[in-house]
Amino acid sequence: MSDTPVPTAIALRTTSRVLELSYGDTNYQLPFEFLRVYSPSAEVRGHGQGQEVLQTGKRNVEITAIEPVGHYAIRIVFSDGHDSGIYSWDLLRSFCQNQPRLWDEYLDKLQTAGHPGESGRDVPMIKSSGGGCAV
């Protein structure tokens, strides 16, 4: 059993295109694009170190469904047909805590691969406290 906290609330914000995760009085917003390009699926991560596949063209991806997976994860279905990633509570918490760094790494990879401007977001997302949400 993991010691990772389970979100107290999960909200799909289609207008702002973020998945909001609440942990008590702290909220995190993970953009749909971020969740898609960091999917834990083998299609994205490969089957071992160094086999990751850079995801491009995901700027306008939507989340069409979220399904529970036992008591430990959710499965996210995206508008581009991708639905094989299982997002554990551990992974989602890590995304919340490391999003600025991960986002910068993704933007750097896009730049290096010759896809600057491919992303729909130019600034990293941050957490907020006290019930508010920040982007």
Q: In terms of Cα–Cα distance, which of 129, 127, 107, 126 is closest to 118? A: 107
Tokens of 88: 């554990």
What is the distance, to the nearest Å, from the Cα of residue 74 to the centroid of all Cα atoms in its chain?
12
Closest CA to 94 of 10, 18, 32, 7: 7
Looking at 1-135, which runs of residues are DSSP E strands?
A: 9-13, 18-23, 26-31, 63-69, 73-78, 86-88, 128-129
Q: Which amino acid is at 94?
A: S
How confident is the model at residue 121, as a pLDDT?
55
Q: Write out the H or E segment, with its range, that includes residue 94.
A: helix 89-112
CA–CA separation, 51 and 41 (whole Å): 12
State how far the Cα of 117 lies from the Cα of 105, in Å rounded to an integer. Answer: 14
pLDDT, tens only, 8-35 = 999 999 999 999 999 999 999 999 999 9
Q: Stretch 119-126: mean pLDDT, rounded?
A: 50
* pTM, two decimal places: 0.84
What would the mean pLDDT of 116-129 be, rounded to a whole number? 54
Q: What is the pLDDT of residues 68-110, one digit of tens each?
A: 999 999 999 999 999 999 999 999 999 999 999 999 999 999 9
The topology under which CATH files domain 9-115 is NE0471 N-terminal domain-like (3.30.2020)
**How much is the pLDDT for 125?**
44
